[in-house]
Amino acid sequence: MVVKQALARLAPFSFLAWRFCLAGLFLLAVCRIQVRPQGPGMVSAGIKIGAALFAAYAFQTVGLQYTTPSKAAFITALSVVLVPIMSSALLRQLPGAQAVVGVGLATVGLALLTWEGWSGPGWGDLLVLACAFGFATHIIAVARYSGEYDPLWLTGIQIMTVGILSLPPAMAEGFPLPSRGAAWAVVYTALVATAGAFLIQNAVQQFTTPTHTALIFSTEPVFAAAWAYVLVGDLLESWQVVGAALVLAGTLVSELAHQREGPAEAEPPSIR
């Protein structure tokens, strides 16, 4: 809701550039005070993670102009399916049977939650699908590097990478200063939804699997729908309620399996 209000007053890439540059500068300033840097390997890792995250946001930003919000929401959420497939190939980490069941339940639930009557796939849908690959790659990259480097530095570098890569398309939009109405949204999303959220992900993802992380992220539209009801009284249709329940059930199934495995088995292997 906050992002939607900001995008009504600020062009998409300009919003991304302001949001991620502000968040990156804040994190790197804290890094200089709190933690010593850990060498060029950390910088390279942060740039790789940031490039994947920028690709996800860039494809989503452009794709949303050519498809419906409901289709974009579901296709983006397909990262929950892509993560176990890609992590099996890249990290040599096969998901457990219950994790696969959880992914299936969450996928069906996301389809019901975002369903508004779809037409066939179009150009915008393919762009948003590329966005889903970007988010899946980001989750896997964080799993690969989060246990090796300080999470504060790793988050600051990746966020700053997104901000810098957003600058050229933002310049093409004119890169205006945020208006008074958009400035608070930029600051809020930069410090809370970007610096805070991605710092937490980088700090704790080393203790779980990429598949489990993706399933947790799949609950985002469920909580968004709940807040929409609380704040503006926006009611879900019956099939959307079923979809939300399936997403939560899929996450619960995966969580129960993860608790039985324990953190040692869940930690992904290091591959160089």
CA dist., res. 154 & res. 145, Å (int): 9
CA dist., res. 154 & res. 31, Å (int): 10
pLDDT for position 228: 65
**If residue 9 lies in a helix (H) or strand (E), which one and from where to where?**
none
- 36-41 long-range CB contacts below 8 Å, 24 or more apart? 37/153, 38/149, 38/150, 38/153, 41/148, 41/149
Residue 248, CA distances (Å) to 56, 105, 133, 243, 266 in order: 24, 9, 23, 9, 21
pLDDT for position 22: 97
Q: Is 174 left (phi over 0), alpha (psi -120 to 50) or beta?
A: left
Q: State the first-to-last Cα distance of the chain, in angstroms, to the nearest integer.
A: 40
Does 53 or 238 have the greater pLDDT score?
Answer: 53
CB 236 within 8 A of CB 244: yes
217 Cβ contact partners less than 8 Å away, ≥ 6 residues apart: 79, 80, 135, 139
Instruction: Compute the average pLDDT of residues 22-33.
Output: 92
Mean model confidence pLDDT for the chain: 81
Neighbours of 137 (CB within 10 A): 22
pLDDT digits (tens, 9 = 90+) for 111-151: 777 666 655 567 888 898 899 899 999 999 999 998 889 99
pLDDT digits (tens, 9 = 90+) for 136-195: 999 999 999 988 899 999 999 999 999 999 999 999 999 999 988 789 889 999 999 899
